[in-house]
Amino acid sequence: MTTPQEIIRIEQDIVLTLKNIYDPEIPVNVYDLGLIYEIDVEPDGTANIRMTLTAPNCPMADQLLEEINENVGKVKGVSSVNVVLTFDPPWDRSMMSEETLLDLGLF
């Protein structure tokens, strides 16, 4: 059984991991791009990630989801990964971090 403090650490480590996974079409990581809607780690170590894509017909969706599953699964304390893809709400550039908007010259 994982303690609440351990769950917080695992979730922080997942965020760091996601900040190293880049959208294949935009040179920005999936976290700062605003594609990650929710990260919830259960006491048994299951990491539930609710996310979206920049477009529903993203040709790189399978590759991106596989990379997220594989890398989050390596985070210490994660026993399994459950990625749920949603398009509600649909992604738009307002979901990007301010730093990303500045980096891309969109702010």
pLDDT value for 107: 64
**Given this model, what pLDDT does residue 71 score?**
98
Please state the pTM of the whole predicted model: 0.91
84 CB contacts (<8 Å, ≥6 apart)? 48, 49, 50, 51
Closest CA to 49 of 61, 33, 29, 35: 35
- Within 1-107, strands assigned E span 36-41, 46-51, 80-85
Task: Give, for all 107 residues of the chain, the pLDDT tens digit.
Answer: 689 999 999 999 999 999 999 988 888 999 999 999 999 999 999 999 999 998 888 888 999 999 999 999 999 999 999 999 999 999 988 898 998 888 888 76
Question: Which class does domain 4-93 fall in?
Answer: alpha beta
Query: Could you tell me if 44 and 2 are in contact, meaning their C-beta atoms sit under 8 angstroms apart?
Result: yes
- What are the extents of the domains in the chain? 4-93
